[in-house]
Amino acid sequence: MDTAATPVAAQDQPLVIPDETLRRLDVPGPRYTSYPTADRFIEAFGPDAYRQALQERAQGARVGGAAPLSLYVHVPFCESVCYYCACNKVITKHHDRAAEYLDALDQEIALHTAELGTGQPVSQLHLGGGSPTFLSDDELRRLMASLRAAFRVVAGAEISIEVDPRTASPARLRELAAMGFNRISFGIQDFDPDVQQAVHRVQSFESVRDLVLGARECGFESINADLIYGLPKQTPASFQRTIAQVCELRPDRIALYAYAHLPARFKPQRRIHAEDLPPADARIGMLGAAISGFTGHGYTYIGMDHFALHGDALAAAKRQGRLHRNFQGYSTQPDCDLIGLGVSSIGRMGATYSQNAKTLPEYYDALRQGQLPTVRGLALSRDDLVRRAVIMALMCQGRVEFESISLAHLVRFEDYFAAEIEALRPMVDEGLVEIDDDGISVTANGWFFVRAVALTFDRYLRADQNRERFSRIV
């Protein structure tokens, strides 16, 4: 970058990010869908530890009633590979592989009900992948029947599914609605033909438009669109066109993610040429243009990666200070136990995290032996819990109150986090953070770098010099 500063369009006025700040904060860092982050899970936390966490929930439910659960089901299969993808996936055109996977899911569900009993209340259910729509309608009906037989889906529950537009039609959306899905997410990423060719995901604007219209006709309560900025061949001008097209579709929510180029970890990304990736100043320009474009069309900027129409429940939660964050991103659901089903799924149970086996052979083998397929996880320490509270307050409310943390965790915030408060001083000088006698706030400009604010409180990351496994903040 050879200009003195990089202009970025903010929500209501031009924002100028000095090059020095941009360079200093353009570092790898977690997205903080959890704290500690999943890379801190350890293999010493296995099936027995997870089973104990399930038993503790069951015991607590008998004493004081069961709070609603969240369920996540991972369907790993895709017919073709998208070069940018960092998800756990299995590329295959053999749809008969789904039957064995559904059998395994039934076994895993049964192992959970053996510990929890049947009928645990569920207020949130999400099918992700991979491509859940790789499954046929009959297979999806079978899966939903298994889940409903094991758990009690409460009235008003959010039941959502991720849809690859290339695998769906308006007629198929009617089938999904009939199964009980009331929220749907379309993977768009970008509408520019050159970008689509570069990432091996070609789908027309017209086909997605027809699906969005079809979803509305089916009565889906919420339609989400996933976008990615920083992809190969993207330019601020081309992404501006995508922004305009998405505004024309007017989904209820938009998830906008920064592309994380980590070819050493994710083999498909090796097909992306690094020289085709936009530089940092272009990426921040795309983010700024998205914030300006979407907010100018009636969307509320929820935070790091989410937008929602003013009347959407997520926007209402933002206004009322009720936002939460989990492994799927921002949510209106209060912090609750999460059961992750399927290969590589991550769950949260009490003060623990757990993750399933990452490969199908390992996942199947554990279930054949009658074991939960947990291969790693973490029991959170007292320090983990207090830092999680601080990081989530910053990520969700944009402010952390000293007194609330001190009272909830029996610490004196100003003493416990003295080093972190001092480390934030440069961000205060740059207008990204404000510190007063009562707490720490992220400014409107600071939302561009809220991950950088949060990672100041990450004890693990401070001690770890190898951050290249994370995406870059800008």
Which string of DSSP letters, residue by residue, matches 11-37? SSSEEEEEHHHHHHH-SB----SSSS-
Return d(Cα 61, Cα 170) in angstroms, integer. 41
Are 257 and 400 in a shared domain? no
- CA torsion 254→324→423→417, rounded to 10°? 180
What's the burial of 13, exposed, middle or buried (CB within 10 Å: 0-12/13-18/19+)? exposed
Along the chain (474 residues), what's the average pLDDT of each consecutive run of 10 residues? 34 50 72 91 97 94 83 96 91 95 98 96 95 96 98 95 94 97 96 96 96 96 96 96 97 92 90 93 85 90 87 90 85 87 96 97 97 98 97 93 96 97 94 96 86 93 64 63
Domain-terminating residue out of 341, 371, 401: 341
How is residue 472 annotated by DSSP? B
Are 335 and 392 in a shared domain? no
Annotated binding-site positions for [4Fe-4S] cluster: 78, 82, 85
Amino acid letter, residue 6? T
Are 158 and 231 in a shared domain? yes
Written as six digits, the tokens of 145 are 């029947």
Asked if residue 370 is part of any domain, the answer here is: no
Annotated binding-site positions for S-adenosyl-L-methionine: 72, 84-86, 129, 162, 189, 201, 226, 260, 346
Q: What is the pLDDT of residue 366?
A: 98
Task: Answer for the pair 105, 160: CB distance below 8 angstroms, yes or no.
Answer: no
Are 272 and 124 in a shared domain? yes
Are 313 and 390 in a shared domain? no
Are 227 and 185 in a shared domain? yes
- Residue among 312, 137, 302 nearest 221 (CA): 312
Element (H, E) at 306: strand 306-309
Annotated binding-site positions: 72, 78, 82, 84-86, 129, 162, 189, 201, 226, 260, 346
Our count of domains for the chain comes to 2
Residue 255, phi then psi, degrees to nearest 5: -105, 120
Q: How far from the centroid of its chain's Cα atoms is residue 333's Cα?
A: 14
pTM score of the predicted model: 0.91
Are 249 and 287 in a shared domain? yes
- Under the phi-then-psi rule, with left for phi > 0, alpha for psi from -120 to 50, and beta for the rest, what region is 112? alpha
- Residue among 463, 317, 454 nearest 389 (CA): 454
Domain that holds residue 223: 38-341
- Residue among 340, 367, 365, 366 nearest 355 (CA): 340
CATH classification of the domain holding 431:
1.10.10.920
Task: Answer for the pair 259, 239: CB distance below 8 angstroms, yes or no.
Answer: no
CATH classification of the domain holding 299:
3.80.30.20
Domain-terminating residue out of 341, 373, 391: 341
Asked if residue 357 is part of any domain, the answer here is: no
